[in-house]
Structure 1
């Protein structure tokens, strides 16, 4: 997707919230948007998701998109699962499939018990889980997250972190805003700052593909590919069309023909999926905890290596959180009744 000279203002004589935005949004990338309150971050995200239209300039090539707004409209006449089914159908899913996926995402977020609860009766934290689930259930090519972690309990935040990694590993693009500077630290392909109505590359942004490892526990994956097979999305012979491995994965070829990949734990499922679904697939010899982080070796306080020869063709989804929801700090919603929007294939051009 491409933004050329995009600007947005509210009202013919209103001040410009955004001016002359130039942005290439590549496939299979994680982009972070930063800026102070009121700088125009949310306006930019709505433009990216197709919720809003530019007052000037042109947006082309928008893929199938989904959006989590900063404020979720909880006062709607649906139960949680009925709302997810409704939004799934808007995304193009058949009703039974939309309902099944909605129920699965509620379970992953630890909210299965609230599937039949009216939205107006949900806590703010559980409402936020529904808001995130509606964007994830259709596996969008572009996922836009505006403070989506706010109000989630710790277990649900980890589920969302993994879901973001899965989207990127599957070739999707995720654009997000979050108030926590450590959110997905080191995993973003690029960071941008909105200031004075303009979108600027962040002065500390790492170049694409040269990211720092995320802090926290790491996982070491020992894998073996077919002779001559390139690592999927890896730096040493990227497979054609394969997404880049997420999370600043460190790759070390071994003399015995295997490859050691060290990755933040939050991205390990996505990396395993990329390896197992490659053509030809890679054989996973072991998966080992790295202890202190992705830079640590398997001997650094790591548990014993677990053989992975019995792994399925794709790793299972992360376990659903069973922790209680935390209250959200976001005020009541002012968004439209349907926060997610199917993408428009035609260019968005100002009149």
Structure 2
């Protein structure tokens, strides 16, 4: 997906929120967007997701996408299950498949008890689980998240972290904004900053010796052994750092959200998993 000379303003006499934006968003990538409040981050995400049209420039190559807005309009005459089933249909799923996915995601987020509850009666946290679930249930190739973690409990945040890793591991593109600088730290393939109506790439700081492992937050440490003469599968999720043990095993270290996807990649390559541990990186 590409943005070429893209600009956005809300009215011919209004100032440009964004102008001259050139971006390339490749498949299998995690993209973080930073910027101060009011800088245009949400406008950029809405353009990427196709919610808004550019006032100038061109956007091409947008794959099937899903979007989690900063604010969810929950005052709709639908239950949580009804809304998710409807959104599944919008995303192209058949009704029975949409209903099945809706129930599965409500359960994963710990919100299955509210399946029959009208959206207007849900708490902010439960509403956020529903809006995140609607974006994930169709497994979109482009996932756009605007402060999607806000209001979620710790279990739901972990589910979302892992779901983001799964989307990237399966070849998708995920673009996100979050106020917490430690969110998925060390995982993004590229970070952009929105400032002065422009978008520029910035380097994410990773201390020497950590490789692709985040500077803070949990990481997974997997000890595995491959078949004789078989190399590690290419392009493993999470870009793990690797090292060899004295007895010939391989230790892989990656951001914890990638644990499930990384294990699947190793098992698909017929590697034997000796041990799995999640640890916090010392500060």
Normalising to structure 1: TM-score of the pair?
0.75
Match of 1:245 in 2: 237
Consecutive unaligned residues in structure 1, runs of 5 or more: 235-243, 296-351
| Contact 2:213–2:219 (CA under 8 A) maintained in structure 1 | no
Match of 1:211 in 2: 212
Match of 1:284 in 2: 272
Give the 3-state SS of the residue equivalent to 2:126 in structure 1: helix
Deviation at 1:109, TM superposition (A): 0.7
| Contact 1:222–1:258 (CA under 8 A) maintained in structure 2 | yes
Q: 1:274 aligns with which of 265, 270, 277?
A: 265
Match of 2:15 in 1: 15
Deviations along 1:291-320, one digit per CA (max 9) or x if unpaired, are 444x9xxxxxxxxxxxxxxxxxxxxxxxxx
Deviations along 1:214-261, one digit per CA (max 9) or x if unpaired, are 533433222333455443344xxxxxxxxx521x51112456554221
Structure ranking higher in strand proportion:
2
Match of 1:301 in 2: none
**How far apart are the structure 2 equivalents of 1:268 and 1:174?**
17
Match of 1:341 in 2: none
Q: CA, structure 1 residues 66+233, in 2 after alignment: closer, same or farther (shift >3 Å)?
A: farther
Give the 3-state SS of the residue equivalent to 2:180 in structure 1: coil
Q: CA, structure 1 residues 182+216, in 2 after alignment: closer, same or farther (shift >3 Å)?
A: closer
Match of 2:175 in 1: 175
Match of 1:196 in 2: 196
Q: CA RMSD in A?
A: 1.9
Q: How does 1:305-324 map to 2 (within 5 A)?
A: none
Q: Which has the higher contact order (CA 8 A, sep 6+)?
A: 1
Deviation at 1:167, TM superposition (A): 1.0
| Contact 1:214–1:264 (CA under 8 A) maintained in structure 2 | no
Consecutive unaligned residues in structure 2, runs of 5 or more: none
Give the 3-state SS of the residue equivalent to 1:16 in structure 2: coil
**How far apart are the structure 1 equivalents of 2:2 and 2:140?**
17
**How far apart are the structure 1 equivalents of 2:219 and 2:57?**
43
**How far apart are the structure 1 equivalents of 2:25 and 2:278?**
33
Give the 3-state SS of the residue equivalent to 2:42 in structure 1: helix
Normalising to structure 2: TM-score of the pair?
0.92
Deviations along 1:172-204, one digit per CA (max 9) or x if unpaired, are 111000011111111111111000100011254
Deviation at 1:139, TM superposition (A): 0.4
**How far apart are the structure 2 equivalents of 1:23 and 1:17?**
16
Aligned length: 278
Q: How does 1:118-137 map to 2 (within 5 A)?
A: 118-137=118-137
Q: CA, structure 1 residues 80+221, in 2 after alignment: closer, same or farther (shift >3 Å)?
A: same
Match of 2:31 in 1: 31
Match of 2:103 in 1: 103
Deviations along 1:264-289, one digit per CA (max 9) or x if unpaired, are 33321111122223xxx222331232
Q: Which moved more, 1:283-292 or 1:102-111?
A: 283-292
| Contact 1:213–1:249 (CA under 8 A) maintained in structure 2 | no
